[in-house]
Amino acid sequence: MTAQLPAEFADFVLSQETLAPYTRLKIGGPAELLAIPRSRDELSAVVGYSRHQNLPLRVLGTGSNILVSDEGVKGIIIRLTGQAFTSVVVESKTVRAGAGAALSALISQAARSALGGLELLIGIPGTVGGAVRCNAGDRSGEIGQFVRRIEVVEGSGDVQVREQDELRFAYRWSNIEEPVLLSAEFELEADRPEAIVKRMRKAWIQRKAAQPLSFQAAVRLFKDPRGHSAAALIEQAGLAGTRVGGAELSERDANAVVADTGATARDVLRLIELMKSRVRERFGVDLELQITVW
């Protein structure tokens, strides 16, 4: 049972709010508390409160890499959708973006300023915070390689700066453990706008051709095991198009699940178990989840 909420939280903290609409899969039960702070002070206050009350705290970006369970989530979920967290500012070769900004906004702002590098990530859904935390990317590049410094909110509610030399990025992983990533600064290369736009167009076409259709509620489930493509293993195991309840594997990407209206997290979890066991039996490979299950 949550303690009495401080009165000053009434304007930006909701109780028992269903998370499904805020996620890519449109699946999932309620958050015990959903906080949508409007300022850094409100954010710090809610982070400090979670520590004081011993409540788990997580940030939800666009939920492109998350499956929320049907039962919902204990503790506090934070969304950084307010203006205080979504600005993108260019200064010489540096772009500073709030963690709640769309990754696409960061990429297009950089391209408009004739700064190259991030355009290769076009078409990856999500926020800047989610992308940096998960080191989003693919074989063409990863966002971590451009990060120069970040701002985080620690468990106490204090804001701290982490410099490049303290940050580590690996395949779909970073060492950012603080509860909230607040903003990130990227160092990019000046380039000709036409060259950037050409690379961006190519990356967009390649990525969109391999993704579920954009109107579909879908997420990619597994990391690529070393030396393999998860989608290829799943396809070779004969699972493409498999359906459990309202959850179905995408015809365009066998590693992506598409949720129809009425699909539940339980359907997706059963599909995940089926995929893991079939791929293990067939190829002796243990698939590791890319999505986080809440």
Binding positions for ligand FAD, rule: CB under 6 A: 24, 58-66, 80, 99, 124-127, 129-131, 133-134, 136-138, 172, 180-181, 211-212, 218-220, 292
Find the shortest distance in angstroms from Cβ 212 to ligand FAD.
Answer: 6
Nearer residue to ligand FAD within complex by CB, 114 or 155: 155
Token readout for 293 is 């299950």
Nearer residue to ligand FAD within complex by CB, 223 or 282: 223
Nearer residue to ligand FAD within complex by CB, 100 or 116: 100
Nearer residue to ligand FAD within complex by CB, 4 or 215: 215
Within 10 A of 275 (CB to CB), how many other CB atoms are there? 24
Which amino acid type is present at position 8?
E
Find the shortest distance in angstroms from Cβ 89 to ligand FAD.
Answer: 17
Euclidean distance between CA atoms 192 and 200, whole angstroms: 12
What is the Cα 107 distance to its own chain's centre? 16
Find the shortest distance in angstroms from Cβ 48 to ligand FAD.
Answer: 16
Find the shortest distance in angstroms from Cβ 143 to ligand FAD.
Answer: 8
At 31, which helix (H) or strand (E)? Answer: strand 30-35
Euclidean distance between CA atoms 142 and 152, whole angstroms: 20
Alpha helices per DSSP H over the chain: 40-52, 103-112, 128-133, 193-210, 230-236, 265-283
Q: Which residue is nearest to ligand FAD (CB)?
A: 61
Nearer residue to ligand FAD within complex by CB, 58 or 270: 58
Find the shortest distance in angstroms from Cβ 83 to ligand FAD.
Answer: 15
* Interacting residues of 154 by C-beta distance below 8 A, sequence separation 6+: 47, 160, 178, 179
